[in-house]
Amino acid sequence: MTHVASLYGLTVAAPFPLHVARPAPRGPVDVQFVLGAPIAATSDRPPGVVVVHRPISDEVHATYVRTDDGGYLLRFARTCDFVIDASLGRITMHMAQDVPPEMGAVIALGTVLSFVLLLRGDCVLHASAVQVGGHAIGFVGHSGMGKSTMAALMCADGGRVITDDVLRLTPRDGLPRCALGATELRLRSAAGALADDLVDTLGQDVSARSTADERSALQLPTATEEDLELAALVIPRPRRDLAEVSVTLLDAKSALLTLIRFPRVVGVVDPVMQGEQFDHLAWLVATVPVYLGDVPWGPPFPTGTGRALASLVGASGRVADPDLSRESAR
């Protein structure tokens, strides 16, 4: 069975479930995943010109190479390989023996599609984003910094999911616009209590499942409007010693130096790709306010966190949904 959905502005088809509640428009498929033959688990570096290398341990790494035919081979050591053809439209997934294909699907829809977007010249952030009124608020940072949890807290106060973990931005009228992406928020076990609270609060608007990488994936109310303007970016800083949300607006230079630390594809060594990423971020910090967000952390998570944050970053009036800003943060 082939699963098809709209994801990050692309029509994506795959032999595995996409878990994306965004029907694809009529027309050709932009990216087709296919399942190839199993491979032996290996940590060997693949042949080709290295464009990305991320060492994780002595035995585990992620290495992407440009191959002689103009395509790419992405090796996630001892887990799987992805072979991308020169058109960037066909991707073959080869799972290492004894590794479940569900794990490959997690990598495919996050890291692999992010790499494809970078190859297409897009601005891609390691971020989740939520619709608040007629605009978007994004949460950017490394894995484990609370991006998905912050998006969930916003949804608890009336927000709607634009994307999780991968945010593609395109310019329109000189402003960054958000492509609709993943419709599930993938929460770590530490946020399990929040997942339970959301089910209780939102009722039938929430469904949950367990993922191959041992997270809880929550299907929450989703945004349906493409190209919402990105009104603010927030870098979450979870704090267990705080009782209230506070934010600090970064100047453009500090914002650029901070965002550089959180690439969606870690370990890019290709100078052209590095330059494009820098240019995208320089444009972004010139057009969108970037905040450090100090957030009281749980569990238990304080109620009203989403409303408080929206009020703080929406002081300019760009974020003014009454459901989210009726309670001011102190």
| pLDDT tens digits along 273-307 | 999 999 999 999 999 999 999 999 988 888 899 99
Q: Say if residue 25 is in the same domain as residue 139.
A: no
Provide the residue range defining the domain that includes 114.
Answer: 3-120
CA atoms within 13 A on the CB side of 232: 27
Residues 265 and 188 in one domain: yes
Asked, as a colleague might, if the bond just before 299 is cis with ω within 30 of 0, I would say yes
Q: Are 137 and 130 in contact (CB under 8 A)?
A: yes
For residues 287, 293, 299, 304, the Cα torsion angle rounded to the nearest 10 degrees is: -80
Whether residues 244 and 303 share a domain: the answer is yes
CA distances in angstroms from 301 to 245, 294, 295, listed in the order given? 12, 13, 10
CATH of the domain at 258: 3.40.50
Overall pTM surpassing 0.85 (yes/no)? yes
15 inside domain: yes
* Model pLDDT, residue 59: 74
- Judge if 104 and 219 occupy the same domain: no
- Indicate if 223 and 89 belong to the same structural domain: no
**Residue among 174, 272, 178 at smallest CA distance from 222:** 178
- Give residue 190's pLDDT: 62
Last residue of a domain, one of 80, 104, 120: 120
Is the domain of 108 the same as that of 163? no
The predicted structure's pLDDT at residue 193: 67
User: How is residue 208 annotated by DSSP?
Assistant: E
Residue 256 counted as domain residue: yes
* Of the candidates 107, 91, 123, 101, the residue with the CA atom closest to the CA atom of residue 8: 123
Same domain, 161 and 299: yes
- Which residues in the chain land under pLDDT 50? 315-330
* CA within 13 Å, CB half, 71: 15
